[in-house]
Structure 1
């Protein structure tokens, strides 16, 4: 089954631990063997290393002797700018996007940046097979956690924009440390902005069908704050208990909506700067109108939450 898999050069980088610049050949071969085994690749560590030493822009090279393997990366301010860009935006980026951002912050030309900023050599950047974007090596994959969450809760789907909220509030993970790559994982399907399991969960697992339907409805309304929330009444529950459960779900939905609006506000701050640098006044005006609308929505949501909290 397909899972997010590091490229060969990125796998080599991950064999080095933070702060390490060189290793003995025997040590790096041993670490590579474990990496390859974990990725299901039938190749020896020695063969893998020999192949990587001979490719263009290899992240490693032989040291003073063949018994020492060292990183080929040479520090430069452009690499640090690229690293801060990904860290601050919390999003993977293509090389073109990184070059464009770095060019805005320096006097270097595009050709100079492309010649110097060879991301294949910097151990802080990694790529996954079939994905042209660059990730920070320090980021972890959330795919297994999201899969287990969907199975255990019985949720039919969740909005992609709500994954960050679910990671932090439901799974107890820091969104700053994890990335979710459903498009590289055949356990998931992504359709119309929602992610769901590619195959039905085993019979009897997770919550009941009615509960799963309510979870799906709540997740949908978290993205469309003004959408309708449809919940089925359970015949085995009395009216008071049903209303209490509905109010709890609505409150959770609204808190999730507040998180999404806050996340959008942070994104807009970056977009305003980009529009200003491009002298795009219509784009800036559109962002300001959206900001005002979002602030009104936030105020309304907080008022509803305060009403729900009243005894």
Structure 2
């Protein structure tokens, strides 16, 4: 009956954590800690890549943009969660909800394309290392990154326009912790069939196309590695891909679970846990994954901290 009411919705109520009132303080501390670590790791990675000349290579150029995206990605979601947990106010205006939806979709879509670009970059580096810097010159790198951003913006505009041209009548309680597509579609008071077909088809297309590019790139990489005579050379070559493969597995694995898997048998609580993982945890883990076993990053970090210590001791 609520959806037959013609009152126009001017705000939404995010119901994601209202069932866990006793956990508000612990949850606030956990999310705040995650956010600070994410900002420290990703902003630190960007600064490190910009400052150290040894990291001015195509691979770290793309990694820099990945860190920027992760910073924006998590900043779209976590401040809203922290404000809700701190004040107990779960309302979000219609405009803020649309803005959050757009920027979240933009960051997620652009990251999909950027991870595919990074897989292609690894293939070029391994297939022809002598001409790598020529093939992946500054103009090519900027073109690939610009293409990822343009595709991300285009997808976000399409999804946001389709979603927020729907009519939301009276029922404004979103059983989620941010403005995502599935819970918003459930609140629409008009037929969403055509919009769901367009939006979901496009989302699945983006995920599958980029996953296919990554898969093909790594199949070609594996083919090249298997042709190498030295087992040490094979291990060293493949080790340059481990960080990227780990990030890809985490990011695309959660997206596939959320958007490509059938909703039959899935609970809303499972969706919330998975959403927290790919909107909060993965952006925090990415700089750690890329730095833990990366000698170049570790060397650059030691060099910068060494300079800082010397300047303060003088």
TM-score, normalization: structure 2?
0.28
Bigger relative contact order (CA 8 A; separation at least 6):
2
Q: Specify the structure having the higher radius of gyration (Cα).
A: 1
TM-score, normalization: structure 1?
0.28
Of Structure 1 and Structure 2, the greater helix share is in 2
Of Structure 1 and Structure 2, the greater strand share is in 1
